[in-house]
Amino acid sequence: MLSVEQVITGLDRAVATMKKGERAIISIHPDYAFGNVEVKQDLAIVPPGSKVVYDIEMVDFIKVKGKKSSSLVL
């Protein structure tokens, strides 16, 4: 299970490639999402082995000094 400050690997990788103002529909394979584990958060239930889809917009971000270039604070 992910903590409040973590995101799934696929979403983290996709967001790291986006530019300010860009909008994308991201389809993430289970290997980069929740794998073979059922996830229950708030009103959502993601069955094991599910592909997940996000519709996201990069409104703004801040690069964190001293971290890898893919380390962003959204």
The string of pLDDT tens digits covering residues 25-71 is: 999 999 999 999 999 988 889 999 999 999 999 998 887 776 554 44
**The dihedral sign for the CA sequence 57, 26, 46, 12:** negative
Structural domain includes residue 4:
no
Domain count for the chain, please give it.
Answer: 1
**How crowded is residue 51: how many other Cβ atoms within 10 Å of its Cβ?**
13
Domain that holds residue 35: 9-73
pLDDT for res 25: 96
pLDDT tens sequence across 6-18: 789 999 899 889 9
pLDDT for res 71: 47
pLDDT at 1 over 90: no
pTM of this structure? 0.70
Residues 34 and 52 sit within 8 Å (Cβ to Cβ): yes
Structural domain includes residue 3:
no
* Conformation bin of residue 49: beta by default, left when phi > 0, alpha when psi is -120 to 50: left
Structural domain includes residue 22:
yes
